[in-house]
């Protein structure tokens, strides 16, 4: 009997194929019409497969809702009580199915929601066949590789939302700053390109206001979540932690543009200033500057020639470049939701490269493009080589090249974060302490963030500096992940405070649930840790990590051995097996995996990050078996001893 019958419109075949591969990699059997045997009568085969399947998974789309075949198959699934509906492009279900919730696959949580829904319907995954045990499929490899890339460079998501903020020499305390957010301007036109343009107008205003030292401007990652918001002003202000916000609209008719803008007091929704601009062609660029200046003046900033010049330097004034960049970001998000790989990120990078070529001051386009090469490096470091070591070295050098180009065009306020990223991919960590401390302690604009900002923080003894840095980051973007902060607090023996951060965050992501489990274990609340584990997706790798911690905390050597055997059978990456071996206290086995990882091109990079994001189990292996990683630590003047937030019983 098959697990899932996949129903889709012919125009959506590519999406169906990707989803089928993902589900099969998760352990489910999937039937879709490519499986029809030669000579089979089409309709009869369809009916047989529909009857045999436990779930009828329907992919609604603009084409799917008009497909007679998809509607008929959905009816059969509905009547049999086994329909699971999704929308792959945001199109709502057709009449007759609107009462059946359709999982939005365009949402960043869509694929996780789908796996959870299937898990509830189908229960535990089928046992692997002997053929499955022989070698990992490429799809399985892709899942683990995607996991590795998320861990190695997950924080990179903050990079591309960084703006071109200029530097300020003025010293202003946090209490003296006026807080303001720029919400995405709404496009009132039908053309999709106008939506990108409207976003670009708002981003330019945000950049210019962010250049003023008197203002604390909320990061784009936070404020742009309120696109088309219906929330009242006080709710927006409270969520973003700001006193004021700028909002507006853009309408285009041929070459003519109408832009409206207003500055709103968040507390009561009152307007402090508003205006309407009717312009033609390139005059729209002047409007962006004028709106920013009028808003700044309404906020009490006394503008002089120096400040106007600073605002002008912060702008880019190239809506076409922004539109290309925004398209790249959408593709980037889509592919990561599906399971990003080096191959399928190529199209997003083509947009990033065109944006940078059109406007070199779009330095953060280079940073967004780095993620593609990090996927390839991660594949190598965790044990899934793609194209040999030469290709991995080329990827590392490409990252270095792009970071260098970004730095040439970035404001000085972005240098610490770019330098921190660059040193990770270099073969010389000798100035790591200086670079990391500068990133943590310099008062940077809210427009600039970094990936893996916790790199070497523990080994360099900079945890207090990191706590202060993290608090500033939360003020800039209240939506930014608090998982690294919670982890650092655990290393400072502040488990209760870490739990307060976790529980107050409202974050129900798999990454936060995983850290919640660890924090509860550190607080000696293992039963509660098991309750949190029960809320996690059992098919996700983070679930496997959290389960490993619980088994280790309980001293369950047999359970850990069973998990290790399962990883071996499924062809899991070496880092997953290393995690289990270290917590089992099997030093010899851990050393063998660690030596393999260290010998690979990105091995030292992985180890430098994995202590805080993967194992949380101290060194767990002898550094002498990882000579390349050890040499980098010695260069950095970093501690060769890594503490553990938990006293794991089997390691004694």
At 336-383, the pLDDT tens digits run 766 678 888 999 999 999 999 998 888 888 988 998 998 888 888 887
Decide yes or no: CATH 3.40.1710.10 for domain 172-315.
no
Structure confidence at residue 216 (pLDDT)? 84
Assign 275 to helix, strand or coil. Answer: strand
- For residues 122 and 468, give the distance between their C-alpha atoms in angstroms, rounded to a whole number: 46
Structure confidence at residue 612 (pLDDT)? 61
The full DSSP string for 345-413 is THHHHHHHHHHHHH-TT-THHHHHHHHHHHHHHHHHHHT--SS-HHHHHHHHHHHHHHHHHHHHHS-GG
Structure confidence at residue 39 (pLDDT)? 45
- For residues 61 and 494, give the distance between their C-alpha atoms in angstroms, rounded to a whole number: 48
Structure confidence at residue 633 (pLDDT)? 95
Where exactly are the structural domains of the chain? 4-126, 142-164+319-434, 172-315, 454-652
Measured on CA atoms in the order 198, 202, 207, 208, is the torsion positive or negative? positive
Burial class (CB in 10 A: 0-12, 13-18, 19+), 637: middle
Which CATH number is 454-652 given?
1.25.40
Structure confidence at residue 503 (pLDDT)? 92
- For residues 525 and 120, give the distance between their C-alpha atoms in angstroms, rounded to a whole number: 27
In what side-by-side order are the strands of the sheet with 4-7?
A: 30-31, 4-7, 55-60, 83-87, 102-104
Tokens of 344: 């399928």
Assign 182 to helix, strand or coil. Answer: strand
User: In which residue ranges of the chain is pLDDT below 50?
Assistant: 37-40, 124-172
Domain 4-126 and domain 172-315, same fold? Reply is yes
Q: Any idea what DSSP says for residue 621?
A: S
- For residues 126 and 543, give the distance between their C-alpha atoms in angstroms, rounded to a whole number: 17
Query: 617 with 435: CB under 8 angstroms?
Result: no
Structure confidence at residue 299 (pLDDT)? 82
Structure confidence at residue 227 (pLDDT)? 74
> Quick one: which of 90, 51, 97 has its CA closest to 74?
97
pLDDT tens readout for residues 588-632:
999 999 999 999 888 888 888 765 667 898 888 999 999 999 999
- For residues 219 and 345, give the distance between their C-alpha atoms in angstroms, rounded to a whole number: 25
Q: Which fold has domain 4-126?
A: Rossmann fold (3.40.50)
Tokens of 474: 């939360």
Q: Any idea what DSSP says for residue 559?
A: H
User: In 10 A of CB 309, how many CB atoms?
Assistant: 12
- For residues 648 and 652, give the distance between their C-alpha atoms in angstroms, rounded to a whole number: 7
- For residues 374 and 369, give the distance between their C-alpha atoms in angstroms, rounded to a whole number: 9
Structure confidence at residue 229 (pLDDT)? 66
Structure confidence at residue 32 (pLDDT)? 82
Burial class (CB in 10 A: 0-12, 13-18, 19+), 300: exposed
pTM of the predicted structure, to 2 decimals:
0.67
Alpha-carbon 585 to chain mean position = 33
Assign 263 to helix, strand or coil. Answer: strand
Assign 264 to helix, strand or coil. Answer: strand
Structure confidence at residue 624 (pLDDT)? 96
């Amino acid at each position: 009997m098959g697990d899932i019958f996949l129903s889709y419109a012919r125009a959506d075949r590519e999406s169906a194929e990707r989803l089928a591969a993902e589900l099969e990699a998760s352990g489910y059997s999937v039937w879709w019409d490519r499986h029809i045997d030669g000579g089979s009568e089409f309709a009869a085969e369809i009916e047989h497969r529909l009857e045999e399947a436990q779930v009828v998974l329907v992919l609604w789309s603009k084409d799917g809702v008009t497909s007679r075949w998809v509607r008929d198959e959905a009816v059969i699934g509905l009547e049999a009580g086994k329909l699971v509906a999704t929308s792959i492009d945001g199109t709502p279900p057709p009449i007759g199915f609107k009462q059946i919730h359709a999982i939005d696959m365009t949402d960043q949580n869509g694929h996780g929601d789908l796996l959870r829904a299937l898990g509830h319907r189908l229960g535990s995954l089928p046992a692997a066949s002997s053929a499955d045990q022989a070698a990992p499929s490429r799809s399985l490899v892709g899942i683990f590789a995607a996991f590795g890339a998320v861990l190695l460079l997950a924080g990179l998501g903050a990079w591309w939302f960084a703006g071109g903020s200029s530097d300020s020499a003025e010293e202003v305390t946090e209490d003296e700053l006026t807080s303001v957010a720029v919400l995405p301007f709404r496009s009132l036109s039908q053309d999709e390109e106008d939506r990108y343009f409207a976003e670009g107008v708002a981003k330019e205003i945000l950049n210019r206001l962010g250049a003023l030292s008197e203002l604390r401007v909320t990061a784009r990652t936070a404020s742009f979540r309120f696109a088309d918001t219906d929330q009242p002003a006080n709710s927006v202000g409270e969520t973003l932690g700001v006193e004021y916000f700028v909002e507006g609209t853009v309408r285009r008719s041929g070459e003519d543009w109408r832009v409206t803008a207003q500055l709103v007091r968040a507390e009561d929704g009152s307007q402090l200033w508003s205006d309407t601009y009717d312009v033609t062609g390139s005059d729209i660029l002047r409007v962006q500057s004028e709106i920013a200046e009028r808003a700044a003046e309404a906020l009490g900033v006394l503008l002089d020639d120096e400040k106007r010049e600073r605002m002008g330097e912060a702008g880019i004034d190239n809506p076409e470049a922004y539109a290309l960049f925004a398209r790249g970001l959408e593709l980037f998000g889509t592919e990561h939701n599906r399971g990003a790989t080096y191959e399928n990120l190529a199209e997003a990078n083509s947009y990033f490269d065109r944006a940078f070529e059109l406007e070199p001051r779009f330095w953060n386009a280079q940073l967004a493009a780095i993620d593609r090469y990090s996927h390839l490096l991660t594949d190598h470091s965790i044990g899934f080589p793609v194209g040999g070591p030469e290709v991995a070295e080329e990827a590392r050098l490409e990252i270095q090249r792009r970071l260098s180009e970004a730095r040439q065009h970035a404001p000085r306020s972005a240098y610490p974060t770019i330098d921190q990223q660059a040193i990770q991919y270099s073969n010389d960590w000798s100035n790591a302490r200086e670079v990391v401390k500068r990133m943590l302690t310099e008062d940077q604009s809210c427009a600039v963030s970094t990936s893996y900002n916790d790199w070497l923080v523990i080994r360099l003894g900079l945890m207090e500096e990191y706590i202060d840095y993290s608090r500033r980051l939360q003020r800039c973007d209240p939506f930014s992940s608090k998982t690294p902060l919670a982890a650092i607090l655990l290393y400072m023996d502040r488990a209760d405070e870490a739990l307060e951060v976790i529980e107050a965050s409202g974050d129900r992501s798999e990454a936060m649930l995983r850290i919640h489990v660890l924090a509860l274990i550190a607080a000696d609340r293992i039963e509660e840790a098991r309750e949190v584990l029960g809320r996690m997706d059992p098919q996700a790798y983070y679930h496997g990590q959290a389960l490993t911690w619980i088994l280790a905390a309980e001293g369950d050597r047999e359970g850990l051995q069973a998990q290790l055997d399962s990883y071996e059978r499924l062809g899991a990456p070496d880092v997953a097996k290393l995690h289990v071996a270290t917590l089992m206290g099997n030093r010899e086995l851990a050393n063998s995996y660690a030596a393999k990882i260290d010998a690979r091109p990105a091995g030292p990079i992985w180890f430098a990050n994995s202590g805080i994001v993967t194992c949380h189990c101290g060194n767990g292996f002898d550094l002498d078996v990882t000579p390349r990683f050890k040499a980098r630590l010695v260069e950095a003047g970093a501690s060769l001893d890594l503490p553990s937030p938990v006293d794991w019983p089997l390691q004694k």
